[in-house]
């Protein structure tokens, strides 16, 4: 117990191993970050102002975009500063705060995606009861519940990880305070903590994943049973964007958080993490706006309104 809090700050290595690419990476990630923020803000704005986008699906999509906006902002700005300052320090509390928000947003996103797939299930399989089941109140309660569970899980997980003994070294070979690089720094046996991480990740990821899967089995069966090809195409197009986003999210999350520590390879994981910290939040709005006629229509409407205002 005596060595327990001998580490009071961590050093974030980031991408220090490739100093010659520092500025290139900075410019690249900076542009991607700006694009991500802009596209997600655009989705939030467009859903808020357009009357045609007032269905539950768009309510959840707006919440998802807002969440992605926060999610990238937890890690990327910090990483950009670290790229330039090289191996900057982060306090114990700062690191815990970052992990907390990272987990909060990650878990909430997972639950929100589940609620969204339930929404698609109701819309496609029991369309006559859609407005009754997915009332405004239910939507707000569902998304509030996702956030609440996210808060609780993230708080518990962060508390457990930061109550472990860290007695040096304190160098995090990653670009933010993620679970794996932190567990690598714990002194002593972390066997049970790894089990705990895997079990929590398993429950938090797998349970929603099974629900998503069940929803999609129902959705696909009912699409295949539709008699008219036109209805079939229409039903499929409303859920294909969501399905793409779900695959992106679960594909990366399950790979990252349900492995034992012995298989961590921080140098490789770092690059893989970029995929879901940088690319997924940018891809979501693109997937939803490019493949969705209603969103595209709303974008044109907004653009023409802006031009019209300027032309006056």
Ligand X SMILES: *[C@@H]1O[C@H](CO)[C@@H](O)[C@H](O)[C@H]1NC(C)=O
Q: What is the binding site for ligand X (CB under 6 A)?
A: 44, 62-63, 66, 140, 143-144, 147
- Shortest distance, CB of residue 89 to ligand X, whole angstroms? 33
The answer to whether 257 touches 179, Cβ cutoff 8 Å, is yes
Instruction: Provide the minimum distance between the beta carbon of 199 and ligand X in the complex, in angstroms, as a whole number.
Output: 28
CA 307 to chain centre: 34
Task: Determine the Cα–Cα distance for residues 270 and 174; give it in Å rounded to an integer.
Answer: 6
> What's the Cα-to-Cα distance from 96 to each of 53, 166, 204, 213, rounded to whole Å?
38, 13, 20, 33
- 63 vs 193 by CB, closer to ligand X: 63
Nearer to ligand X, 144 or 247 (CB): 144
Q: How far is the CB of 60 from ligand X (least distance, A)?
A: 8
Q: Report CA-CA distances (Å) from 19 to 14, 79, 147.
A: 10, 14, 39
Tokens representing residue 312 in the block: 């006056």
95 vs 139, beta carbon nearer ligand X = 139
- Taking the least distance from each CB to ligand X, the nearer of 153 and 182 is 153
Among residues 154 and 179, whose Cβ is nearest to ligand X?
A: 154
Which tokens go with 308?
């019209």
Q: How far is the CB of 42 from ligand X (least distance, A)?
A: 13
Return the number of other C-beta atoms located less than 10 Å from residue 294's C-beta.
16
Closest distance of CB 200 from ligand X, Å = 23
**Angstrom distance (rounded) from CA 31 to CA 195:** 38
């Amino acid at each position: 117990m005596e060595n327990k809090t001998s580490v009071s700050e961590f050093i974030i290595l980031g991408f220090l191993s490739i100093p010659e690419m520092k500025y290139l990476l900075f410019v690249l990630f900076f542009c991607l970050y700006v694009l991500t923020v802009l596209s997600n803000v655009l989705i939030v704005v467009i859903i808020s102002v357009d009357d045609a986008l007032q269905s539950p699906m768009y309510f959840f999509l707006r919440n998802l975009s807002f969440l992605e906006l926060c999610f990238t902002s937890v890690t990327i700005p910090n990483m950009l500063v670290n790229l330039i300052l090289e191996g900057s320090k982060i306090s114990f509390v700062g690191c815990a705060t970052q992990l907390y928000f990272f987990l909060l947003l990650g878990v909430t996103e997972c639950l929100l995606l589940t609620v969204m797939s339930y929404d698609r299930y109701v819309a496609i399989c029991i369309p006559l009861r859609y407005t009754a089941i997915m009332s405004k109140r239910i939507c707000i309660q569902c998304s509030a519940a996702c956030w609440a569970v996210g808060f609780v899980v993230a708080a518990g997980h962060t508390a457990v990880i930061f109550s472990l003994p860290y007695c040096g070294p304190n160098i995090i070979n990653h670009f933010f305070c993620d679970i794996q690089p932190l567990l690598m720094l714990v002194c002593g046996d972390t066997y049970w903590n790894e089990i705990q991480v895997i079990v929590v990740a398993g429950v938090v990821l797998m349970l929603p994943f099974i629900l998503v899967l069940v929803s999609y089995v129902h959705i696909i069966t009912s699409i295949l049973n539709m008699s008219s090809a036109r209805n079939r195409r229409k039903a499929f197009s409303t859920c294909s964007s969501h399905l793409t986003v779900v695959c992106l999210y679960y594909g990366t999350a399950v790979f990252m958080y349900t492995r034992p520590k012995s298989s961590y390879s921080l140098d490789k994981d770092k690059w893989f993490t970029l995929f879901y910290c940088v690319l997924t939040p940018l891809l979501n709005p693109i997937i939803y706006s490019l493949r969705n006629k209603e969103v595209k229509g709303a974008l044109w409407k907004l653009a023409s309104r802006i031009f019209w205002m300027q032309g006056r």
